[in-house]
Structure 1
Amino acid sequence: MPETQVAAAEASSPESVRWDPWDRDIARDPYPVYRRLRAEAPLYYNAEHDFYALSRYDDIDRALLDWRTFSSSRGPILEIIKAGIEIPPGTLLMEDPPAHDIHRGLLARVFTPRRVLSLEPQIREMCTRSLDRLAGVGSFDFMTAFANEVPMRVIGMLLGIPEADQQSVRDRADENLRTVPGEQMAVSDKAIPHADHFAEYIDWRTEHPSDDLMTELLRAEFEDTEGVTRTLTRQEILTYITVVAGAGNETTARLLGWLGSLLARYPDRRAELVANPQLIPKAIEETLRFEPTGHAIARYVTTDVEYHGTVVPAGSAMMLLVASANRDSDHWTDPDIYDIHRKTGTLRTFGLGTHFCLGASLARLEARVAIEEFLKRFPTWDVDWDALALSSTSTVRGWETLPMTVA
């Protein structure tokens, strides 16, 4: 082990403090581990898997804002960084400026605040349709019956994918993130977007333009990194579409799942929302802080950088534990209390800086409309806590199944 890594390992003492993104026992409740990391090993080194981790709010902010030192060009997932594989151009999550800014600007045209808000009636209609099928059903799995379906329909609408094909698109996105419990992602097969299954939609939309994301990307002109004004290549469009489909489906579904379980665990907060639906946006923000769907963002360290008296060498993988930052007691009052009245303007669930999530406003809108409509139908519900199951991924934390009984 290099001397710098030995020093980092010593800085991570006591040895009993351990965080492993593939450890399913830790994943069940990682917050006690995060608390100890912040207190005892703010710069943590995992010798088994050869990566560093930051857990304090201020340290993570510094890293998120310094994209030159903490690069996204090798990917935002630990397995991808360690594999050292080539990233396809146009994969926003895996780029640095200036290419990132150019490609992000194209998608930003689609996710403007006005355009996102204009989707509310359609999202509400989708939620209503899903909930109509649950009328008179006393018990169901919240994830499969509702939480997974809403974002799937919204993303399908944005991409112009026929409704009959939307489930298969979601299944592919879900499969790309899934791992064997306790094992790492198979990078060669799953980590990098494979977009061939979208090709037929792109080809059809070329001949039949519409008001959707595919048509927008087909028509968009931009100046590339070589200074050439052009439209996107077919392969670039396929990559964009795959990134949007994957990110938009999984994270929003898991957010809805956390809302469903937390509001069952804290029925007094749920009663407040039923009595005053205007509190729902605050409840969503607190859920994003309290139980974020993505707990860690990976970065590739491009140059030596010092944290807490230890130098992290260039070429290292760094994990930024945003879920820990969201519960840092130096930044939040009573961070382990679920408080739907909390001011949460500085949560880090959607990142910060260059890579702040483009779909954040859409996710918030979907969650607000979905919970508004669900509470109208079901003001109370119980969860079968013994039958809950976490999803088997190392990148997204949320419920695979959430069985509930409604009044």
Structure 2
Amino acid sequence: MTAPTDSELYYDPYSIDLNMNPHAVFARIREEAPLYYNEAHDFYALSRYDDVNKAVIDHETFISGRGAVLEIIKSGMEIPPGTLIFEDPPIHNIHRNLLSRMFTPRKVLALEPQIREFTARCLDPVVGSGRFDFVNDLGEQMPMRVIGMLLGIPEDQQQQITAHGEAALEGQTVDALATGEVFSEFIDWRIAHPSDDIMTDLLNAEFEDETGTRRKLGREELLLYLIVIATAGSETTTRLIGWAGKTLADYPDQRRALAEDHGLIPQAIEEILRWEPPALQIARYVTRDVEYYGRTVPEGSAMLMLVGAANRDHRRFPPDGDVFDIHREPHSHMSFGAGTHFCMGNALARLEGRIALEEILKRFPEWEVDWAGARASETAAVRGWAAMPTFVS
């Protein structure tokens, strides 16, 4: 993969190669240009942890309503109503509070036996083969299947959702997935056959909308919310599992420590999320002139909060944020965002990551990456591996 020369200080957020290994560039930006400006793509960027954290929380200066990825902000497109990740308070809070009932600690933890059983079903057939692909054998299947479990979708229809999710990760069925058609049949069936599950809860939940009207979600609204949750939650967790395979291959001593003591796995998941966040940046539209480091960022600009740079800031993660250490004293990272847009599914993603590593390490305590077969994902917004094959023993 290409890497910049020492004389360059340039970050292209659309470069898939650079996004797979951006940390040398991020380190220089963090120290040399804490307010960075990219003339070619016309955006500003913050990279130090405190700057990124405060900016993400400041939802009045840095809004999501013009988009949360750079290309959408720059396009000037009108955001369709009800797209949760592209909303600002107060409407965002209304929708978030309604949907957060999907992710209560009780409901998330209740899924553990089902997730563990499904993980075992994925892993057991490859035991003894000498090979295991973190993405193709597990990572691209588990998250969408878990969304189906959470909603109470029967297993045969969960498989359909997983198939759509895998295709979407490869860019094959984005239109179908984006319109929510994959959930449509089940929602219609559940309307006619209510049950004790989250889908029925969402169909029957009453709330006060932004006009003060007390009502239920419309069918199209529910479809849009479900697809946002499914795509935002599944792709990032798929990437987390792929990065876990690559990172723990790079640090075999720490992998062996995890194999010997599974109690270390939760903090290892946090360190992997900090070290290789699936989403390297959070984009926002700037609503007023704001100053950083003696320079003015004008109203109407696009601002990138560089999560991947903030997560390795030695000011936040002493003594050296560029060291991978599962024994690191815990400090919160930016991989799940912060403030009003803090990831609703963070507990679910952590649970999936923990179960995945526990079950993998039970069966495969040692592995090396088969680099001849490794393949980077072709998506820039959420970066990671489309294939992470390993030789296992």
After TM superposition, give the deviation of residue 177 of structure 1 in Å: 6.2
What are the equivalent positions in structure 2 for 1:99-138 lying under 5 Å apart?
99-138=91-130
Contact 1:301 1:313 in 2 (8 A): yes
Task: Return the TM-score normalized by structure 1.
Answer: 0.90
- Aligned equivalents of 1:50, 1:140: Cα separation in 2: 42
Residue in structure 1 matched with residue 149 of structure 2 by the alignment: 157
What are the equivalent positions in structure 2 for 1:172-191 lying under 5 Å apart?
172-173=164-165
2:368 partner letter: D
- Aligned equivalents of 1:393, 1:171: Cα separation in 2: 18
In the alignment, structure 1 residue 36 sits paired with structure 2 residue 28? yes
**Closer/same/farther in 2, CA of residues 316 and 235 from structure 1, 3 Å limit:** same
Contact 1:214 1:241 in 2 (8 A): no
Deviations 1:275-322 (A, max 9, x none): 111000010010010011110011011111111111111111111101
Residue in structure 2 matched with residue 199 of structure 1 by the alignment: 184
- Aligned equivalents of 2:14, 2:179: Cα separation in 1: 24
Residue in structure 1 matched with residue 305 of structure 2 by the alignment: 320
After TM superposition, give the deviation of residue 192 of structure 1 in Å: 10
In the alignment, structure 1 residue 76 sits paired with structure 2 residue 68? yes
202-211 vs 273-282, which moves further: 202-211
* Aligned equivalent of 1:94, options 79, 83, 86: 86
Residue in structure 2 matched with residue 372 of structure 1 by the alignment: 358
Residue in structure 2 matched with residue 85 of structure 1 by the alignment: 77
In the alignment, structure 1 residue 390 sits paired with structure 2 residue 382? no
Residue in structure 2 matched with residue 381 of structure 1 by the alignment: 367
% identical aligned pairs: 55
Contact 1:289 1:344 in 2 (8 A): no
Contact 1:140 1:404 in 2 (8 A): yes
* Aligned equivalent of 1:219, options 204, 208, 211: 204
Residue in structure 2 matched with residue 285 of structure 1 by the alignment: 270
* Aligned equivalent of 1:336, options 312, 322, 325: 322
After TM superposition, give the deviation of residue 170 of structure 1 in Å: 4.1
* Aligned equivalent of 2:347, options 339, 346, 361: 361
Question: What secondary structure is seen at the aligned counterpart in 2 of 1:292?
Answer: coil
Contact 2:377 2:385 in 1 (8 A): yes
- Aligned equivalents of 2:344, 2:334: Cα separation in 1: 14
- Aligned equivalents of 2:142, 2:158: Cα separation in 1: 11
Contact 2:140 2:166 in 1 (8 A): no
- Aligned equivalents of 2:366, 2:298: Cα separation in 1: 52
**Closer/same/farther in 2, CA of residues 53 and 173 from structure 1, 3 Å limit:** farther
- Aligned equivalents of 2:332, 2:67: Cα separation in 1: 24
- Aligned equivalents of 2:297, 2:176: Cα separation in 1: 26
286-295 vs 205-214, which moves further: 205-214
After TM superposition, give the deviation of residue 149 of structure 1 in Å: 1.5
After TM superposition, give the deviation of residue 116 of structure 1 in Å: 0.9
Contact 2:23 2:309 in 1 (8 A): yes
- Aligned equivalents of 1:210, 1:43: Cα separation in 2: 52
2:140 partner letter: N
Q: CA RMSD in A?
A: 2.1
Residue in structure 2 matched with residue 270 of structure 1 by the alignment: 255
**Closer/same/farther in 2, CA of residues 154 and 98 from structure 1, 3 Å limit:** same
Task: Return the TM-score normalized by structure 2.
Answer: 0.93
Contact 1:147 1:254 in 2 (8 A): yes
**Closer/same/farther in 2, CA of residues 361 and 385 from structure 1, 3 Å limit:** same
After TM superposition, give the deviation of residue 212 of structure 1 in Å: 3.4
Residue in structure 2 matched with residue 185 of structure 1 by the alignment: none
